[in-house]
Structure 1
Amino acid sequence: MQAYIDILFRTIFAILLLLLAAKVLGKQTISNMTFHDFVTGITLGSITANLAFNDKLQWSHVALSLIVITITSILLSVIALKSRKMRSWISGSPTTLIEGGKILEENMRRVRYTMDSLDQALRGKGIFNIEEVNYAVLEDNGTVSVLKKDEYQYVTKKDMKLRPNAQAFPVELIMDGVLIEKNLENNGLTKKWLENELRRRGKRISDVFYAVKGTQQQLVFDFYKDGIQKPIDKE
């Protein structure tokens, strides 16, 4: 019984340590990872897993190891910021896969990137015909950035000389059925105003699952009762 309790506490301690390390390292560690972020993440995960289940390891030793890794990762990040040459070695560098509409086979062979992977990445961006692509770059976080040929690019309001509409950052008013009073207050809105808007729609705050004031100042509501009799559920 004591062994189970020990594993329980060690696991909780490991998770808390990992959360603390991730908080210190910042959002980059949990975003699309570079070489440096990948190595750091794998190492942190291995150490915390050992802390949780390997009762032969002392807590203090594992905690010290996590601290050393965190500090080392921060130092590598600082070095990468200061030196372009070191940044290329620590985090990797982009590789051009398509230039001027031509596939660079040598570059793809150098980074061991296959045509299947390239086709898949392009489809993920809604491009099914490779002749639409002017440039494609494999970024250091593993994603592919694409610049379409001019004739395949989307027309913008600027191209059509249309006056753009003013936009604002969306403001969430209700989330998971809970009124976010701080967001109302920070944006000069009131609960009474929101209740009036809902009353016009024949609803109350208790009927709302999610509400947001959008980029065009429009109100968008999602209600608990959607009126969908047979929702699509693909498994």
Structure 2
Amino acid sequence: MQVYMDIVLRAFVAMIMLLLIAKILGKQTLSNLTFHDFVTGIILGSIAANLAFNKQLHSSYMILALIVVTVTSFLLSIIALKSRKMRSWISGSPTVLIEDGKILEQNMKKVRYSLDSLDQALREKEIFNLEVVEYAVLEDNGMVSVLKKQEYQYVTRKDLKLLSVPQSFPVELIMDGIVLADNLKDNGLTQEWLENELRRKGKQISDVFYGVRGTQQQLIFDYYEDGIRNLLIKNSFCSYWRLTDT
């Protein structure tokens, strides 16, 4: 029993340590997997796994190793912010794959990037013809950024000389059936106003699963009972009667 409790405790500590480390290193580590982040993630994962399951290694050694790797990674991030030259070495630098609509074969060989990978990256951006592309850049995190030629770019409201429509950031009002009082207060709204708006729709707060005020100040509600269940039951009965008729 003691053995199982020891593994449970070590696994719990490893999980908590990784969560704290992710919090310290910041969101960029999660969103942009650069060379630095890739190496850090592998090392942290290996140490955490040993901390959780390898009883031959003392847990204090593993915790110390996690702290050392975290501090080192944090310091490297600071150095990368301060020095552009070091940032290029630590995190890598973007590589131009297509310039003026022409593929740069030497750059692709340098980063060992194949034509198949380039075609796939372009298709993921809904580009199936190479002639559409003006520039394509392989970013530090392995993603490909694309600039289309002018004749293939989307038309904007500014191009059409249309008046801009005022927009605001969406405000979540109800989530999981719970009124977000802080969001209401921060935006000068009240629960009474929210209840009145729902009353106009013949609903009340207890009926709402998710509610948000959109970018155009419009109110959008998703209710617990959307009628989908009734529709499924109705379809089931229809299917049953068709089977019995045959």
Name the structure where helix makes up a greater proportion of residues. 2
Amino acid at match of 1:90: I
1:154 aligns with 2:158: no
1:200 aligns with 2:200: yes
Give distance in 2, aligned partners of 1:201 and 1:116.
Answer: 53
Q: TM-score, normalised by structure 2?
A: 0.90
5 Å matches for 1:1-235?
A: 1-228=1-228, 229=231
Amino acid at match of 1:179: V
Residue aligned with 1:21, SS: helix
Per the TM alignment, residue 41 of structure 1 is displaced from its structure 2 partner at its CA by 1.1
Residue aligned with 1:97, SS: strand
Residue aligned with 2:203, SS: coil
Residue aligned with 1:161, SS: coil
Residue aligned with 1:44, SS: helix
Per the TM alignment, residue 180 of structure 1 is displaced from its structure 2 partner at its CA by 0.8
Unpaired stretches in structure 1, ≥5 consecutive residues: 231-235
Give distance in 2, aligned partners of 1:10 and 1:129.
Answer: 53
Amino acid at match of 2:115: M
Residue aligned with 1:215, SS: coil
Amino acid at match of 1:114: S
Amino acid at match of 2:119: D
Give distance in 2, aligned partners of 1:212 and 1:149.
Answer: 37
Give distance in 2, aligned partners of 1:118 and 1:163.
Answer: 38
CA offset digits 1:184-203 (Å, max 9, x no partner): 11111111111111111111
Per the TM alignment, residue 32 of structure 1 is displaced from its structure 2 partner at its CA by 2.2
Amino acid at match of 1:83: S
CA offset digits 1:20-44 (Å, max 9, x no partner): 1111111111112110011111111
Give distance in 2, aligned partners of 1:47 and 1:213.
Answer: 45
Residue aligned with 1:33, SS: coil
Aligned length: 230
Amino acid at match of 2:187: N
Unpaired stretches in structure 2, ≥5 consecutive residues: 233-246
Per the TM alignment, residue 226 of structure 1 is displaced from its structure 2 partner at its CA by 2.1
Per the TM alignment, residue 149 of structure 1 is displaced from its structure 2 partner at its CA by 0.3
Give percent identity, aligned residues only: 71
Q: Which residue of 1 aligns with 2:239?
A: none
Residue aligned with 2:172, SS: strand
Per the TM alignment, residue 124 of structure 1 is displaced from its structure 2 partner at its CA by 1.5
Q: Which residue of 2 aligns with 1:233?
A: none
Give distance in 2, aligned partners of 1:81 and 1:55.
Answer: 39
Residue aligned with 1:154, SS: coil
Give distance in 2, aligned partners of 1:204 and 1:120.
Answer: 48
CA offset digits 1:94-129 (Å, max 9, x no partner): 011111111112211211111221121112112122
Residue aligned with 1:96, SS: strand
